[in-house]
Structure 1
Amino acid sequence: MSAETADNAAPAPKPAAARAGRPVGAWRMPLLVRIAAAILVLVSLVALLAPLLTPYGYEETDLLYRLKPPFWSSLSIEGHLLGTDKLGRDLLSRLLIATQVSLALALLGTLIGAVLGTFLGILAAHRGGWVDEVVMMLVDWQAAMPFLIIALAVLAFLGNNFYLFLALMGLAGWETYARLTRSLVLSAREQGYAVAVRALGARPLRLYGRHILPNVMGPLIVQLTLNFPQTILLETSLSFLGLGIQPPLTSLGQMLGDGRDYLLTAWWLAVLPGGVIFLTTLSMSLFGDWLRTRLDPTQR
């Protein structure tokens, strides 16, 4: 056999992704998802650096400059770039702080709900019996009740404070994590590695924390990205109704509620925070949907 024939017969080297068992380009982002990811990174940086980026104090008032339009309406870049509100407060400064507060509430609330739901799901799958029935009954009850009605009732009877509001954000959506975790754990318990670990006498904490939970974490992470926009919208809805974040602290929902009476005369008061809410939730939904198709082989 000639050298040329031998060279032609030699197999071409496979890409690293193919050698690892993943299809080539499986994690390549479409253009729309790249834009969504860039928006999320930008919003996250703004939220982290908000106190350093504010040109004015978000509580500073100046009635002489109330309802000043943004720079593109007045053709001036001096003073208040995004205009001022009804009390003369700088809208850019308030928008930065409101983004920080809303994202922090949504992130903490989503994480609290994820931890609570995951724990209850593992508990129900592990204990079974009446424990499983009680947890699933609570899951069905919350899934059947509109959570916004529950939150309105709790805030109306107990009053409003930051920690109570944060607890309500954490209780939103926990039932989704509990139901998902229970089904994943029940399936994973029958896998060979879980059976072998139990046969070696591993304690439940080691079995679930070291072996089962890391193997079912992918769908839970995807669910977290899908619940995050819902938590933002819940905070926005309650703050819009005046039952969420209270002055002097501000949030995107509160700014949106304050600007609803000025849509015809000072549209920027509602449109700018509404635009941030829209872009953030849409970007997170697009990124979460893309992540779901990447982590779930049946979706590819």
Structure 2
Amino acid sequence: MLGRVVRPEALRQFQAQRPRLFAVAYRLLGSAGEAEDVIQDAFLRFHEADHATIDNPAAWLTKVVTNLCLNRLTSARARREDYVGPWLPEPVATADPALGPLDTVEQRESVSMAFLLLLERLTPPERAVFVLRSAFGYRHREIAQILGLSEANCQQLYHRAKRRIGDERPRFSASRADGERITRRFLVAARNGDLTALQELLADDVVAWADGGGNTTAARRPVRGAERVARYLGWMSRPVSGLSVRVMEINGRPGMVAIAEGHPLLAVVLEVHAGRISDIRIVANPDKLTFLAAQLPNL
């Protein structure tokens, strides 16, 4: 924006829409950093646009953000094929309102890592239609206008996306209080190296994923089964100078962040079903912790 004069009214209109636009972009991309880049690009376009031709700034900005995300999704798919180890979405602390309202079960599901990973199965147009419809309640007619498609085509894309995802949409069965309680028990058992206590918290078919992106040490394949996962988590009992761990909700799920010298080293997100941990997702790639690091001082 160097050298540009920002019109106050354009800035006001954009800032009013920014939280919703970020919430849309993050769900479409699974990347907070890329979502921020998209929002910045959208603002530049909005600032330079002829505002006399924009009847509805919210709709105009949603269309721009969605289509910028579609462009990025096409290239992101190719990049993720070469990604080192499992790819996981960027963690976002949900105590911060960045992801929009999370008052309903459906809203909380729409930002979970499990759900964002399911969306990776979809083509970019399917993902856009599905997110706009299921997470934000847009009508097919509105989605058609955003994507420049026919209403019938949008309906077809939506139903195709539902079939691809099938019955695997995540269902969070633990309350927030139960999720936090189990997370704290998990943390104590892991830091104490208590394999018996750990196994008691894990489902028999638990799976642990670790995303290091080749930038830090992390398992490059999923670890499966309660006994193997408990042993794998032995690294959590090793003493690290100056390390602190904060239990917090991440992507609408119970989780924790390991912090050293004010910077997050990794984020752990748990899926809890029927009182046991069914999935553990560990994000250790420092490139994916930048947004979370910016959130921490405000939480």
TM-score after normalising by structure 2: 0.26
**Greater share of strand:** 2
